[in-house]
Structure 1
Amino acid sequence: MEIMKYMEKYDYEQLIFCQDRESGLKAFICIHDTTLGPALGGLRMWTYESEEAAIEDALRLARGMTYKNAVAGLNLGGGKTVIMGDPKKDKNEAMFRALGRFIQGLNGRYITAEDVGTTVEDMDIIHEETDYVTGISAEFGSSGNPSPVTAYGVYKGMKAAAKVAFGSDSLEGKTIAVQGVGHVAYALLEHLHKEGARLIVTDINEEAVKRAVEAFGAKAVDPKDIYGVDCDIFSPCALGAVINDETIPQLKAKVVAGSANNQLKDERHGDILHEKGIIYAPDYVINAGGVINVADELLGYNRERALKKVEGLYDRLLEIFEISAREGIPTYKAADRLAEERIAKMKNARSTFLKNEKSLLNRR
C-alpha cells in the first residue's frame, strides 16, 4: 500500500503512528477532514494481520466518519483510531493511558469514542489523560454505551428502507437475517422482535447466538449460510466488506440495512445492488445513531434531544432513496453527494471567514 498516494487521493489530513513499548501499544490515529469541526471517530482494537491492514482500516474508517458526521448534520469532521492487538487478552491500563496522552497531544483535533473491541471502561481510562473522549461512564455526566442508540437508529433506518421496498415501514412478519450478534445487533434484535419480525441470526460467537435464540426465538444458521437464507431484509452487523462478488449472487433479500461499517467491499458493489433493485441503506447513514448520541455530550448530554436527532435518520434515508430513484443513481452515491455538498459549502464559508480574519490581522 502506497500510503501517501492513498491519502492524497482521498485528501486525508493526518496519519499518526503511536507506540509505547512498555504497554505494548501499537496504534494509528487517522484524521481525514476537519472542515466541519474536530474529527470525531471511535477507537477500534483488532487482531490485524499486518500493520498495513491496520492502517488501511484506519484510513477507510476515518473517511467514513467524515461522511457520516456530515450527512448526520453534525459540526464534526471524521477520524478513527485502531489498536493492533487482541481485545480479549492484550488490554491493559497503561496502553489506554498512553493512547490518551497521544490524543491529548492533538489538542482537540481528534475526539475518540468506543468501537469494536473497546468498551466504556476503556474510555474511562483514556479519560484519565484527556478530555477529548466521549462515551465514558454515565457517572462522569456522559451518555455511556452508545450501542443501544446506534441500534435504535438502525431500526428506524431499516423501517425507512422497508417503506421504499415494500410500500410500508412495518416490519411485522418480515424475515430479517442479522449477521453478527454483538452489542448493537442484540439491541436491534430487541426492537425487531417487539415489532413482530421473524429473525435469523448468525455469529462466530456461539454463546451470543444461543442468547439471541433463547431471548427472541430466532433461528440460528452457520455464518457461511447467512447470505443465502430466504429473507426480506439482510442486516450486516459484524465487520465490513461483506457485500462483495461472492455474497451478492447469494442474496435473496430486497433490502440491505445493518450497523456494520464499510459494508461494500468496493463502490462497484453498491452499483450491482442498485442494478439488481436491492435497496441499500448506506452504512454510514443508518448507523450514525451512536455518533449522534456521543456528539450530544459535547453540548452537555441530553438523552431526549439525542434520540430525537437519531429519529431523524428515518427522513434522511428517505431523502437519499428519493434522490437515488429520481436520478437513477445508487444510494451510496446519493448519500456521498449530500455529505460532499455540505462539506463544500462549509469549506467555502470558512475559507471566506479565514480570509477576512487574515485581512484584519494585516491591518494591525
Structure 2
Amino acid sequence: MLEHDQVVLRRGERSGIPVIVAIHSTRLGPAIGGCRLWRYPDWRDGLADALRLAEGMTIKNAAAGLPCGGGKTVLAVPPDLPLGRSARADLLADAGDLVESLGGRYIVGPDVGTSPDDMITIGERTGNVWCRPESYGGSGDSSPHTAAGVLAALDATLRHLYGPLNVAFPDAEQGGGVAGRRITVVGLGHVGSHLARSLAGAGAELTVTDVDPGRRMVAAELGARWADPVDALTAEADVLVPAALGGQLTTDLVPRLRCRAIVGPANNQLAAEQVAELLHRRGITWVPDYLASAGGVAYTVARELHGMLPPDAERQVTQIGARTATLLDAAARDAVSPHKAALQTIANLLAPTPA
C-alpha cells in the first residue's frame, strides 16, 4: 500500500524526460528533499527511488527535530539519452514547474547529480527552492554542515561509550571526545574529506580510504594512515565512519567488524533492516545514518526557513550531538538498538493527532 501523501509524475514539457516528485509526509511541516538527476534503465526505477528517498527524508527530518516532512524529486534520464547543457537546463526548468505546481507543500534542494548552481535554474521557475549559492540569497553548499553534524554525533557517541575523555582538547565544545581515538573514515568525497580534516584537527588517530587512489593526497596532508578499501571496513578502530556508498553494512560483514561504534554520513548504510539488530547484539553502537547525516538539512532549515544567521544556524547543527546522546541513553535504558529507539520516537511524532 502506498504510504505517501502525494506522488506526481510528468513528462517534462521542454525536455520530454520523466520528472517525479514524491511527497511522503507533511505531518510536521512542508516536505523538503533534494533533486536527484540520474540515469535509470526505466522510469519506474526512478519512481521507486523517489518513493524510497522521500520516506527517508521524513525519517531524517523527524530524527533531527526539524519542523518539516519528507519529499524528493527524481529526474529519470534514460540511459542512452544525450544530455547537453541546453537539454539539462530544460530538464531543470521542467522540475521547477512541477515543484511550483505543488503550491509550497514541497521545497526542493540539491541531491546526487545536482548542485547549488542548478538550484538557480530551478529557482527561475519556483520560489520553493533552497541551497542556491549565497550570492543568490541561498544557504549554499550543505556538505560542510553535514560533516559538522557527523562530528557532533561522533563526539557524543564516544563520550557515551568512554566518558568525557577530553584531556588533549579540554576547551573543545565539539570534537573533544575524539582526541586520541582510532577512527576509520571510508570515503573521502566532499563530506568525507571535510570530516577527515575536522577529525585530524581534533586529535583523532585517523585511518582513511577511498576507491579513488588519488585521494591518498588527503591522507598525506592530514598525517593519516591510508588503508586499502577492501580492508578498511574491518580494521581495528574505536569508530568506523561510512562516508561513501550506502548498503555497506551487510549481515556477512557484522561478524568481522572490529570497532566499538559506527557513525557516518553515508545514506542507507544498512543492506538490510536486521543488520541494526545484529550490530546491537554484537555490542557495536550504530548511530542511525538518518540522524548522523542531518547536519546539512538542519543548517539549511535554520537559514532558509527560520532566517537565522550562519553562527546561529551552525549551533543548530551541533544539536545533533545532544540528540545523539539522548537517543543512546534511551536505547541503553530500554535495552534496545538505537535504530529501534529512534524509529519508535519518530513513529510517535508522525502519529495522527486524535480527533
TM (normalized to structure 2)? 0.88
Match of 1:198 in 2: 205
**1-side partners of 2:116 and 2:106: how far apart?**
18
Question: Which stretch shows the higher mean deviation, 68-77 or 50-59?
Answer: 50-59
- Alignment partner, residue 77 of structure 1: 69
Q: Secondary structure at the match of 1:284?
A: helix
Q: 1:46 to 1:168 in 2, by over 3 A?
A: farther
Query: Which is worse superposed, 267-276 or 166-175?
Result: 166-175
Deviation at 1:22, TM superposition (A): 5.3
* Aligned counterpart in structure 1 of residue 111 of structure 2, from 100, 109, 115: 115
Indicate conservation of the 8 Å contact 2:14/2:94, yes or no: no
| Residue number among 153, 164, 171 corresponding to 2:160 in the alignment | 164
Corresponding position of 1:146: 142
Rounded Cα–Cα distance in structure 2 between residues aligned with 1:236 and 1:168: 24
Give me the identity figure in percent: 36
Shift of 1:23: 3.2
- Aligned twin of 1:260: 266
Give the Å deviation of 1:223: 2.7
Q: Distance in 2 between matches of 1:276 and 1:326?
A: 17
| Cα deviation code 1:197-218 (max 9, x no counterpart) | 12222223333x2342232123
Return the offset for 1:301. Answer: 4.0
1:307-346 correspondence to structure 2 within 5 Å: 307-344=314-351
Cα distance in structure 2, aligned partners of 1:251 and 1:140: 45
Partner of 2:169: none
Q: Which amino acid aligns with 1:121?
A: D
Question: Which residue does the alignment assign to 2:173?
Answer: none
1:355 counterpart residue number: none
The farther-off stretch of 183-192 and 194-203 is 194-203
Contact 1:239 1:261 in 2 (8 A): yes
Once residues 227 and 136 of structure 1 are traced to their aligned partners in structure 2, the CA distance between those partners, rounded to angstroms, is 35
Q: 1:105 aligns with which of 97, 101, 104?
A: 101
Matched, 1:34 2:26: yes
Q: May I ask how many residue pairs the two structures share in their alignment?
A: 337
**Worse-superposed segment, 42-51 or 307-316:** 42-51
Which of 215, 221, 229 is equivalent to 2:227? 221
Q: Call closer, same or farther: CA 1:182–1:322 in 2, change over 3 Å.
A: same
Residue 230, structure 1, aligned to residue 255, structure 2? no
Mean Cα deviation higher: 33-42 or 57-66 = 57-66
- The 1:154–1:106 alpha-carbon spacing in structure 2 relative to 1, beyond 3 Å, is same
Report the AA paired with residue 54 of structure 1. Answer: G
The structure richer in helix per residue is 1
Q: CA deviation at 1:48?
A: 4.1
Indicate whether 1:271 and 2:277 are aligned: yes
Change (3 A) 1:327 1:179: same
SS of match in other structure, 1:299: coil
- Matches of 2:115 and 2:156, distance apart in 1: 30
Q: Is the aligned partner of 1:298 residue 2:308?
A: no
Corresponding residue to 1:12 among 4, 21, 25: 4
- Of residues 21-30 and 149-158 in structure 1, the stretch that sits farther from structure 2 once superposed is 21-30
Q: Distance between the aligned counterparts of 1:211 and 1:120, measured in 2?
A: 27
Unaligned 5+ segments in structure 1 are 353-364
The 8 Å contact of residues 18 and 99 in structure 1, kept in 2 or not, is answered as: no
AA in 2 matched with 1:303: P
Q: Gaps (5+ residues) in structure 2?
A: 166-176
- Inter-partner Cα distance in structure 2 for 1:52 and 1:246: 30
Deviation at 1:185, TM superposition (A): 1.1
Aligned to 2:130: 134
The 8 Å contact of residues 44 and 114 in structure 1, kept in 2 or not, is answered as yes
Q: Quote how far apart the aligned CAs of 1:21 are.
A: 7.3
Q: Taking structure 1 as reference, are residues 49 and 278 closer, same or farther at Cα in structure 2, changes over 3 Å only?
A: farther
What secondary structure is seen at the aligned counterpart in 1 of 2:305?
A: helix
Tell me if structure 1 keeps the 8 A contact 2:19–2:94: no
RMSD over equivalenced CA pairs, Å: 2.1
Tell whether the 8 Å contact from 1:67 to 1:340 is kept in structure 2 after alignment. no
